[in-house]
Chain A
């Protein structure tokens, strides 16, 4: 584990190109953090949410407003934390119905937050500093005097945040609070009877999850996009993150990374594939085919291993441990 982190900090900057940073590594890391956030809610606490994009938008725009209106605090760590905290507050608000609504009813109810937040950032002018259609831009990013300009710098900053976030998440889910989430997930009535308070358990899950998602949203906006509009966080983003969680494996942090890698890499691969075989296609046809293959791959992976890549990984590790003498 440590080796991977060290390699990511030291070895990757030696070999990576700007394309690799901006198109693969940065999206992968940021969306991994978002996937971890959603996984806490869906995989550990069992509350299906389709509002991830909305919470990312809250993180992004809250961070933007702090960055814009309080120039003294022009420190990305503070800005991102603020974005996360605001997202957590909104998450708690939209988590309240989960006390009464369950299952798919809740999933659809969380769409309310998605559409409402989309609308909010498109229409309420103050939040987007009176720019047309809510498209805003940021520049001059720094952390304690360190200017984060090149893709390599951004990568290192993101990597740092994601590593810290993952460690926090790991410790949370292993501790008392994580166990209470899992108890509620496995059977909420039983959990309530043995003394877990559903209000606190579910709302902390919503808060922690939204915090991670909000930080990821702020990073996505500041470090990946630089200039964005509410459309960057629409419902497709929600589904994308949910795909990562499901494909990676519900209730698995390493699965969140795998799912994110899969979902980030696959469209790029699909895009390149015809070129490698020398087939030329119109972009429209290519994007339709991409949809098709993407959908088919999702179904395929669900059939092969409904518990996600994390389970496949665990099984492979088990097998390799005994290999070549399995008996």
Chain B
């Protein structure tokens, strides 16, 4: 009995890591801007689609020429934009004419690289690393567009309005990604090992069955968390982010540019979405249903607390394990007892679990204590 139990537990924990990866994107944005970003799932889908289509085998039959043209144009714009932005930042800091020239050259090079990249994409698929780099650039562009076109106009609105706006963004991104890249099921080949692994064969009869792909994914997620933690705690930008999260007005008054910070946060959570999309895409294939994992990440979020990075991790582990254990051990009992038409309780079990936790700690496990004043 212990063997299957541990096996399920490990499987659940590994899936949980992936949930926390999505939840992490939510937390980053909520912490820094108080926006409950429902578009995170759509961002995961968008990133996954982009990587898959940039790196995937191009099969003439299923790809429209128009897709290529648009994709190429977007890539070009993305890279050129990054060059331009870097240049503008330097101008803003009062760089001398020499540096200015340097940045102009950089922007030109960026545009050139973008153009060449777009052209070469028209010729054939890219290696994975290049696809990932290009997708990262596109996510940056996306963050900029969101900040510029949406958030900037909704400063000081109520949380629910901002939330609705992100729902709109989610709709837009879902449609945009699929218009651009098509809506078939695509594969991302990460080269993860596929053969199942057997652990502790001496302890349990037959050992414990573990999917090594999930192990690698969990390792990537863990690495990402460490990097983010260092970024938040040790770097200048990270400190600025925490300041903004604490108090918008105070941060602004000491000279932290709010818009830039938001841009950075959305970019970072875009990159987190990229990582999540990469792993989920490699695991399940890239398809529309990927954007629904945002719904899986929400209970993780309320369980761990909207404002806590460790909360997202621990919450993900609890939800992942709870979900799998309940499906394997609780669902058959329910089905037998109440004569149900099948189990499938994992869809709501996570929410119920989170709800029960919330009744005891309304701010989530690690959330900041909510202090209310009249």
Residues of A within 8 A of B (CB): 42, 48, 97, 100-105, 107-109, 111-112, 115-116, 118-119, 122-125, 133-134, 187, 189-190, 193, 235, 239, 242-243, 246, 250, 284-285, 287-299, 302-303, 306
Contacts and interface: CB of A to CB of B under 8 A. Distances in A.
A250 B173 CA distance: 26
B212 interface: no
A295 B348 contact: no
B161 A288 contact: no
B165 interface: yes
Contact of A295 (B159, B175, B339): B175
Given A104-B36, A109-B351, A109-B355, A295 B301 contact: no
A104 B29 CA distance: 14
B92 interface: no
A100 B358 contact: yes
Contacts of B178: 284, 288, 291
B183 A292 contact: no
A298 B345 contact: no
Given A115-B347, A123-B341, A187-B374, A105 B302 contact: yes
Contacts of B347: 115, 118-119
B299 interface: yes
The 7 closest A-B pairs by CB, nearest first: A291-B175, A295-B172, A295-B171, A298-B168, A112-B351, A292-B175, A115-B348
Contacts of B340: 123-125
Interface size band for B: 35 or more
B326 interface: no
A313 B373 CA distance: 35
B165 A299 contact: yes
A285 B179 contact: yes
B165 A298 contact: yes
B69 interface: no
A112 B354 contact: yes
A250 B157 CA distance: 13
Contacts of A190: 374
A272 B298 CA distance: 36
A125 B339 contact: yes
Interface in B114-162: 149-150, 153-154, 157-161
A298 B161 CA distance: 11
B207 interface: no
A109 B354 contact: yes
Interface stretch (B227-235, B251-259, B362-370): B362-370
Contacts of A285: 179
Contacts of A109: 302, 351, 354-355, 358
State the majority secondary structure of interface residues on B.
helix
Given A108-B298, A290-B175, A292-B179, A119 B161 contact: no
B154 A105 contact: no
Nearest to B164: A246
B296 to A, nearest CB: 10
Given A116-B352, A289-B179, A306 B154 contact: yes
B168 A302 contact: yes
B352 A111 contact: no
17 contacts: A104-B36, A107-B163, A111-B298, A112-B351, A119-B347, A122-B341, A123-B340, A187-B374, A235-B295, A243-B164, A290-B175, A293-B175, A294-B175, A295-B167, A295-B175, A296-B168, A298-B165
B262 interface: no
B42 to A, nearest CB: 9
Given A295-B170, A295-B171, A306-B157, A189 B165 contact: no
B342 interface: yes
Given A295-B168, A296-B168, A104 B159 contact: yes
Given A97-B355, A116-B352, A292-B172, A102 B179 contact: no
Nearest to B358: A101
A292 B176 contact: yes
A302 B363 contact: no
Contacts of B223: none
A258 to B, nearest CB: 16
Contacts of A125: 339-341
A48 B359 CA distance: 17
A289 B341 CA distance: 37
B165 A302 contact: yes
Nearest to B168: A298
A97 B359 contact: yes
A191 B365 CA distance: 28
B175 A288 contact: yes
Contacts of A187: 374
A193 B374 contact: yes
A263 to B, nearest CB: 12
B337 to A, nearest CB: 12
Contacts of A290: 175
Contacts of A97: 355, 358-359
